[in-house]
Chains A and B, each alone.
Chain A
């Protein structure tokens, strides 16, 4: 043990002498990929293809979807389920609502997260402030739905409002509002729950990006006389832009899939239906496999552009490092 190994002179290996272990046959990469491919094919590729197939089939997959056509009414043949998924009134409502979710929840949580990350970066109690904002992330969507159901509770005719929001309204002399059933108001009320849930996620990622902004750049700017506002817009934002894009596209994907909040709080009633809840209702409420599959395919198709953008941006960001 004590003996020191002999020091061998270093020499550069010629390329032809690559050790055996580094040499790869044609099948070696496939062997490495094998387990992952197997899992991917079994749990992602096969179900996706099967869903596509089922979307052309009837209510229980026993015949083509054409069978569901009613004489004298519009019919898309084997694409009949897609006629439902794209043109039925309830699906149109779902599309409009999903757009509302995107246009309110995504900016709400990205801008909210950015604001908090920037402000928290400047205070002593940063970790405490960020922990509090992040806390809702630890609650499941279902749990959050139940909590907010109480906040939005509407006590009809009763002297006491147990809903926090209505109790506040009444104590300020207002009339209680039935937040969950009032059209227009209810979808926004649900989106606020979503923002409350996800702002912490956006904040954490953006905060990390902000901390990566080179200090010398900011110092140089302040030497040149830029105030905090100018430095933020001209230095911080451009530097974190790739991260901002990834966070935004990730949120768009999440929002397109939104289900739990709507399912728990309104069940998709009162005009709050969204695509994913409709898909669930078709499968397990109406047991209509064909329609549910068609809605699933439509949802995938809508999500794909956001995913491509997301992956491209992510790669660009990696390449920069």
Chain B
């Protein structure tokens, strides 16, 4: 008897194994291989690791199975690696990198139209963002919104705090928390080579409240110098909180030396060490990972930065140095409805591909995707968008400002880099035309 049941089990496994390929084949009818042959490879460079990498693999698996493409990924956060490869003439087929890289390598990149990407799948601002000198070079693959504040609804309820609707309400709430001996903010800059980026995110959100999205876009275009009064105002608003132990955990030194992920955890510890943390959408996943018992919606949730006109967000961009069939298949897949749905199902944040709406399962992502779909104004991270050393200069200024250096000097240094990179004289007027005429 025992033997026979063993045989049945084997037969069962065999029959399942035999039906799996046909199921895959059925799925693959929606995937266009663009002439890619079995055994073709695509080398990829990206900064993701761990769970992010697993999710990306999950998204790419149907394509790999349908077309027989093998993906050869490499994960690094080292700026130097991509640059060295490109200079040496051996770039990866595709790189998931920043817009600054798209601008820097614009002559070596293939346009997304030529690779078969469907422009209509993306909102206009995403396509515009990836367009350099009239060529669409960067495919947005993963979007995140930054203009949100994470908090614990349970703690807010217990302490009698309400989610603010306007910037004034937020200010009042912060002061009320201080009066109650609660620390309102958790802030953390430390992020290795990129230390300071959480500060630049926060300051840009404050600009969206005080000045609006046009102002931010003018900075990116070089029409407004980085040491303009509006920028200074935003820094001062931020500095009042970021440098004072009454407003943020550990004051200036806490802000500077706390790792950005540790800052995300603090409001959700027991007892909470802070009431709120301003961090992008990815924070939700990190909170869940760190505190598996907490429930989204009850123990952690987010609200938009009150009073912000438009959203600040960013997209991870895919750049392609190759136009071989396997790369075309990859681009076409990611820009197609089936790619969008697979992305949404994987829970790997939000894809800018419109066809994904309705396929998200995680409630946090559903809310985020809705916010993204409904926003009218959208601005990109200033530091990620202006090429050259601008981003680094911006972070350095923020770090130095919080560490007690003179704000005017720091902002003037950033404005100088902004002018150098964008070909704009400090003071504002664009002189690109004048230089060209010379």
Q: Which single member of B194, B393, B403 contacts A181 (CB below 8 Å)?
A: B403
Mark B255-296 against chain A: 1 for CB-CB distance below 8 A, else 0: 111100000001000000110000000000000000000000
Structural contact, B389 and A157, CB atoms closer than 8 A: no
Structural contact, B273 and A158, CB atoms closer than 8 A: yes
B52 at interface, CB cutoff 8 A? no
B195 at interface, CB cutoff 8 A? yes
Q: Which single member of A68, A157, A269 contacts B254 (CB below 8 Å)?
A: A157
A82 at interface, CB cutoff 8 A? no
Interface positions, chain A 242-273, Cβ under 8 Å from B, are 263-264, 267, 269-271
A121 at interface, CB cutoff 8 A? no
| Residues of chain A lying within 8 A (CB to CB) of residue B258 | 154, 156
Measured CA separation A287–B101 after assembly (Å): 11
Measured CA separation A284–B193 after assembly (Å): 11
Structural contact, A270 and B193, CB atoms closer than 8 A: no
Structural contact, B183 and A157, CB atoms closer than 8 A: yes
Structural contact, B257 and A181, CB atoms closer than 8 A: yes
Residue of B nearest to A60 (CB): B104
Measured CA separation A244–B362 after assembly (Å): 65
Measured CA separation A271–B251 after assembly (Å): 19
| Residues of chain B lying within 8 A (CB to CB) of residue A178 | 250, 253-254, 256-257
A25 to chain B, nearest CB (A): 40
Residue of A nearest to B405 (CB): A271
Interface positions, chain B 184-198, Cβ under 8 Å from A, are 188, 192-196
Structural contact, B80 and A284, CB atoms closer than 8 A: yes
Structural contact, B196 and A269, CB atoms closer than 8 A: yes
A183 at interface, CB cutoff 8 A? yes
B79 at interface, CB cutoff 8 A? yes
Structural contact, A156 and B250, CB atoms closer than 8 A: yes
Measured CA separation A157–B196 after assembly (Å): 20
Measured CA separation A180–B195 after assembly (Å): 12
A173 at interface, CB cutoff 8 A? no
Measured CA separation A181–B403 after assembly (Å): 8
Structural contact, A183 and B403, CB atoms closer than 8 A: yes
On whether A180 and B257 interact (CB within 8 A), knowing A157-B249, A267-B192, the answer reads yes
Chain A residues close to B by CB (< 8 Å): 59, 68, 70, 154, 156-158, 178, 180-183, 263-264, 267, 269-271, 280-288
Q: List 13 A-B contacts (CB under 8 A).
A: A59-B420, A68-B420, A156-B255, A156-B257, A157-B249, A180-B257, A181-B256, A264-B192, A267-B194, A269-B396, A270-B256, A282-B389, A284-B83
Q: List 9 A-B pairs, minimum CB-CB distance, nearest first.
A: A286-B389, A156-B250, A156-B254, A178-B253, A157-B249, A181-B256, A284-B80, A285-B392, A178-B257
